[in-house]
């Protein structure tokens, strides 16, 4: 089975909760069973990230509960990796906040929950060992 999106594409549906985030424009497509509760694992409020004068992410709000899946859809340069780096704590937002299990993104507690490594980081391969 598949769920149609506004642009005519289809996303496979599964019994898990899902959300689709489209960048730029930051429109959030509702997913199956995608409800926010007090025990949200990821809580993004008003996320804004700029590189110089270029605003890559503008006012993004997103809440994900444990077990939810999220797809980031957008062209090259639309902010997908920037958003993931803000969640992983390797990039600081210009405004807004990102909380992981109640902890600010980038703190040791949040990094333990996320357990993420973004291989796009230049120093990633230098830290690998045999």
Q: Choose among 58, 63, 51: nearest CA to 23.
A: 58
Q: Which pTM does this prediction carry?
A: 0.61
**Interval 98-112: pLDDT, tens:** 999 999 998 888 888
SS3 123: coil
Q: Choose among 122, 18, 128, 36: nearest CA to 73.
A: 18
Residue 87 sits at the vertex; the CA angle it makes with 5 and 16, to the nearest 5 degrees, is: 45
Res 16 pLDDT > 50: no
- Percent of all residues in the chain with a pLDDT value above 90, rounded to a whole number: 32
Instruction: Give the per-residue pLDDT at 123.
Output: 66
């Amino acid at each position: 089975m598949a769920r149609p999106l506004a642009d005519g594409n289809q996303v496979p549906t599964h019994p898990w909760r899902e959300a689709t985030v489209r960048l730029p424009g930051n429109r959030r497509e509702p997913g199956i069973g995608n409800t926010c509760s007090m025990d949200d694992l990821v809580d993004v409020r008003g996320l804004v990230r700029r590189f110089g004068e270029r605003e890559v992410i503008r006012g993004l709000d997103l809440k994900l509960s444990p077990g939810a899946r999220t797809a980031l859809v957008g062209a090259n340069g639309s902010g997908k990796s920037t958003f993931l780096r803000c969640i992983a704590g390797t990039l600081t937002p210009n405004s807004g906040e990102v909380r992981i299990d109640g902890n600010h993104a980038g703190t040791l507690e949040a990094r333990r929950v996320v357990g993420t490594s973004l291989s796009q980081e230049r120093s990633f391969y230098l830290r690998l060992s045999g």
